[in-house]
Chains A and B, each alone.
Chain A
Amino acid sequence: MTILGEAVLAELQRRGVEIDPARIEKVLLDADVSSTASRGVPARLRVRRLHVTGTKHYSETPGEETEPAKMKTAPINLHWTPGNGVNGVGSEKNLRGKSSVLHLTMWALTGRSHLQADVASWVDHVNAEFHVDGVPLYVEFDVTDGVPGGKVEQQLPAGGRTVLGTFAGEAEFESVMGSVMLERLRLDAISVFSNGVETEHTWPSYAAALTVHADKLDPIVGNENTLKTRILQMFVGTSWAAVDAQVATALNSMTFEQDERKAQRQATASVTAVALEQAEDRVAAVKKVLEEFDPDEPDVDTVFALASAASERAREAHHLSLQLMTADTAASEVRAQLRVEELREQAAIEDAVARRLFNGMTPSVCPRCSTRVDAERYAAEPTTHECSLCLHELDLDEHMDYPEPDTGGSGVDDAAENESNAETEEVIDPLKALRVAVADAEQGVLGLREKHQAAEAQRREAEDAAVKAREKIDSARARLKAELELARAQSSLDTLRDASTGRPVAPVADEELIVLRAASDLTKKWVKDDQGPLLESVSDAIAALARRFGSTNIMSVKLKGNGNMDVLKGGANTTYSGLTNGEKLRIKLAAVIALIELGHRDGVGRHPGLLFVDSPAAEEIPEADLKVMLMAMTAVAEETDLQIVVATTHGPLLSAVLPNGNLLVAAGTDFVW
């Protein structure tokens, strides 16, 4: 495992968080965090030569309005070879090219031009030589219509040059110079994450920090507040500074994403809350509607059930009515049969009685011819067995079987009994049987009629109920609709409630965040631990240098990890921002030189040991003070391996203090180049 990975694992275990070591490594790798870090070792960057050719257009009276026709033109042939230590670039007047020398140097060094557009248009060709740790680098380019095109070469130890890169246009130029310089100066790109955008600061940002402008004294280190901490850490050479920056950037990016998500969730949650409230209102409204219905009134199901029951009762009643009709018909038939039997019996009895009556009489005349019946023949009937009228053979017992009218039905019974004695045949009286049948049939009809009447009553009742219910069907339908609406509203409310309670309010920080937070905590601590002693040392050097530069009342300063500074001035505590511009300039120069000193002395840090100071006297620095500063710088330059270029209008002062070889000074209204 990597050092950072192991430390994160241990830290997380200490916090009671278990994450797979492989997972930790992957998180760090994915976040582009370097696995290890080492202390910065300074490389030395020097400007050795700047050769510029072209044609300049200028006015004899700079600072005043000049007619284009009166503009003069002259060929440019700048050939500057600054030496070690302090170099001076000066003129007696402004706008005579001293700053342009610095700008042209920076252009060749970074690929990024800060020249005035008119000055850039004067340039035809630039040829610069830089040394990094003594190795010569050659930057040579033509300028066509302000656009640079050329190459970067390196001097080979065996002799000859190798082309490191060629470029056509500013972007390519800057890119080539960036890769050449960062690698050689052992500097890392600085990633800064701000407002969801990750910006990578590369070589031009470092190079800009190499210049101290008199009109740009904040911050102490470099010229951009957003980068002051990182630049300071890089220049101080803190071991974990780069790693800390990487972790911080990854963490910022992730936190930003999470905050975005959180904001979205909160927005969603507030939307949900509104929806929930609406859903609750909807349920309450429907409940209110539903309460207005009479609960005793039939609902739709009941209405249909009643209609169905009514139809069922009707069917039953109809069925019974058919049964009753059938039974009635059957009873009628039985009654008819009984009547016929009664008639037949009555006729038989009457006939028998009448026959016996006549038989008991003596026939007197023949009904055919009215001849008198002979008395002897009549008397002979019992013996001759012949009818006294027609001489037909008589069966005298023939009519004696008819029952005596007095005994009625019992006579029949007697006769039946007599016969049954002889023949043992059971005789059924049809009249009796029919009467029983009629009684049974009428009983059946009676029972059915009662049932039918009951069924009819039920049918009428059911129909009444169904008719009444049907009158309420609209109300029942509306109630059903309301019930359905309530179910829907309740359902959507439940869903919303589930959603709002089911969602975690605070999302659990995922593993990446946990790992990066732990890593950030660790690298910050390591940076602080590592940087603390270095900053202390630098602070002491700053205070000493500031006093040498003329700010004698500055007793001590404390440069902090964030790039700010506490200052003890004349027995009072103040901060860098509370100082005068003159003091700031001294402190700022002191800080850079102190960093260079540290690197030179202890071999720690990444400042390349090159410093440009532009127009220091512009900020309330009297010439005398400037002289003191220059002399102090010169003294420091003798102690420390550095190269400082001071550009000022105090040309004579430069000439007075600095050796000739380190001077590029124009006198009067002359141009520096």
Chain B
Amino acid sequence: MSQGGDADLPVRPAPSVMQHAIRLLVLLDGCGEPVVQGDPGGCVAVIRAELRLQALDFWLRNPDYLAGELLAMVEADELPADEYVPVIEHLLESPEPDLHWYPMPRWHHGAYEAIDDAFSMLSAYGLAQVRRKGGIRKTARSQFFLTEAGRATVDDLRTEKVLSWYTDQVKLVALVAGSDLGSKLKQRQYEQAEYARTKLGTNIAPIYAGVRERLDAVKATVGTGTSAEGAS
């Protein structure tokens, strides 16, 4: 299935608030940092910037960009090729990730989609909380907390047939994101050419073709390296 050729299909359904809420929930669980003293009670993890949350969501819903990041780490020997090349291959070629692909509009701070509606779902059910700092006119910074109930829900999701894909996928996002700040993550995403070239407000174009090419190159070097080892 050609990923790039169908990128502009106008009929792709907009992600529902429910799906958005699930993504935010698993991201808080998988990529949040442990709470510290002073944080609200009953919370177990926190993402301290909306920018970071948006950046993480971008990778979760754009498998080709995620694959590109993973491949960069393989290329930089930060990840073992023999383990992650198949993973990257799977991200690029199997239909599953594509089904979860929802291009994001690019805004002033990079990929952005209002998260208020989705996050209110989580907070209504006591799965997460948001704490905003700053004035009413301009929010200087928002922090997103995962509650104990939220973590329990994510644990349930891990065995849920349809939604467990998110809990699995978020591990790769966490791997890619590391502990970088949101601005740093955005910086990395900007580095991806296609992402940067995308005009403000329009959906970010896929980078499937470029990543596929790089993957093949990596696979070729890994293959020869492996066979050379086998021969010695």
Contact = CB atoms under 8 A, between A and B. Distances in A.
Given A335-B1, A347-B16, A350-B19, A365 B126 contact: yes
Contacts of B1: 335, 339
Given A354-B16, A361-B127, 11 more contacts: A339-B1, A343-B13, A347-B16, A347-B19, A350-B162, A354-B22, A361-B125, A362-B125, A365-B123, A366-B124, A367-B123
Nearest to B130: A370
Contact of B161 (A344, A370, A406): A406
B82 to A, nearest CB: 31
Interface stretch (B4-12, B105-113, B195-203): B4-12
A340 interface: yes
A340 B123 contact: no
Interface in A338-397: 339-340, 342-344, 346-347, 349-351, 353-355, 357-358, 361-368, 370, 389
B18 interface: yes
Given A332-B5, A339-B1, A405-B160, A344 B13 contact: yes
B99 A368 contact: no
Contacts of B126: 361, 364-365
B19 A354 contact: yes
Interface residues of A, number: 30
Nearest to B19: A350
30 contacts: A340-B9, A343-B12, A343-B99, A346-B100, A347-B15, A349-B162, A351-B16, A353-B160, A353-B163, A354-B18, A354-B19, A354-B22, A354-B163, A355-B18, A357-B22, A357-B156, A357-B157, A357-B160, A357-B163, A361-B127, A363-B125, A364-B125, A365-B123, A365-B126, A367-B120, A367-B124, A368-B120, A389-B124, A405-B160, A405-B162
Interface in B122-178: 123-127, 153, 156-157, 160-163
B35 interface: no
Interface string B196-231: 000000000000000000000000000000000000
A336 to B, nearest CB: 5
Contacts of B72: none
Interface in B1-35: 1, 5-6, 9, 11-13, 15-16, 18-19, 21-22
A353 B124 CA distance: 18
Nearest to A361: B125
Q: Which of A340, A347, A362, A366 is the most central at the interface, judged by chain B CB atoms within 10 Å of its CB?
A: A347
Nearest to A362: B125
Dominant secondary structure at the B interface: loop
Return the 3 tightest CB-CB contacts between A and B, nearest first.
A367-B120, A354-B18, A364-B126
A117 B22 CA distance: 167
Contacts of A355: 18
A340 B125 contact: no
B153 A357 contact: yes
Nearest to A370: B123
Nearest to A353: B162
Interface residues of B, number: 31
A364 B124 contact: yes
B121 A358 contact: yes
B95 interface: yes
Interface string A403-444: 001100000000000000000000000000000000000000
Contact of B12 (A340, A354, A358, A361): A340
Q: Which of A335, A336, A358 is the most central at the interface, judged by chain B CB atoms within 10 Å of its CB?
A: A358
A364 B226 CA distance: 56
Contact of A336 (B9, B22, B121, B156): B9
Contacts of A361: 125-127, 153
A355 B157 CA distance: 13
B122 to A, nearest CB: 9
A231 to B, nearest CB: 132
A353 B156 CA distance: 12
Contacts of B125: 358, 361-364
A356 B53 CA distance: 25
B6 A336 contact: yes
A86 B12 CA distance: 165
A339 B6 contact: yes
A346 B18 contact: no
Nearest to B12: A343
Contacts of B99: 342-343, 346
Contacts of A367: 120-121, 123-124
A332 B21 CA distance: 34
A357 B159 CA distance: 13
Interface string B16-60: 101101100000000000000000000000000000000000000
A271 B231 CA distance: 97
Nearest to A349: B162
Contacts of B162: 349-350, 353, 405
A80 B153 CA distance: 191
